[in-house]
Amino acid sequence: VALLAWRVLQDVARSRAAPALLEIVDALPPRILGRIKKLLKAAKGPDAAAAERARDVLKECVRGLHAVMLITGIERCTAFVQFFERVKQTSILNHMLKDIARGEQGGASVGTR
């Protein structure tokens, strides 16, 4: 369900309806921060299967957040922009973001699940 939700966010952020997201994105950080922290903990945990699943969800999360950051006018959404800056300061999430950006620039393909 989490993967699907993040993919829907990506789809909306890349659609003509994207500007409508600007009305709500400042409300997202407090609603998703706890879940992201739990996923980060699981991604570093001893259970390999759970860690891989957590990393998969985190990668879709980062893709979704990145897609929102590309919406024209996002700079007006200061809470979201500040949250995204915090995401970029988290090592594992920053690495995922760099992989995604490389894929968008025509670099190595980043597979989706």
Grade residue 32 by pLDDT with cuts at 50, 70 and 90.
very high
H helices within the chain, ranges in order? 2-13, 18-21, 28-43, 48-69, 78-88, 91-104
47 in Cβ contact with 55 (< 8 Å)? no
Q: pLDDT higher for 103 or 40?
A: 40
Quote the DSSP letter at residue 108. S
pTM: 0.86
Q: How far apart are CA 94 and CA 98, in angstroms?
A: 6
Q: Which residues are within 8 A (CB) of 39 and not within 5 positions of it... i.e. 6 or more apart?
A: 54, 57, 58, 61
pLDDT of residue 106: 62
pLDDT of residue 1: 80
pLDDT exceeds cutoff 80 at 107: no
pLDDT of residue 112: 38
Mean pLDDT of the chain: 91
Quote the DSSP letter at residue 113. -
Lowest-pLDDT range of 56-65, 87-96, 103-112: 103-112
% the chain with pLDDT above 90: 85
* Residue 90 identity: T
Q: How far apart are CA 64 and CA 95, in angstroms?
A: 15
pLDDT exceeds cutoff 60 at 109: no
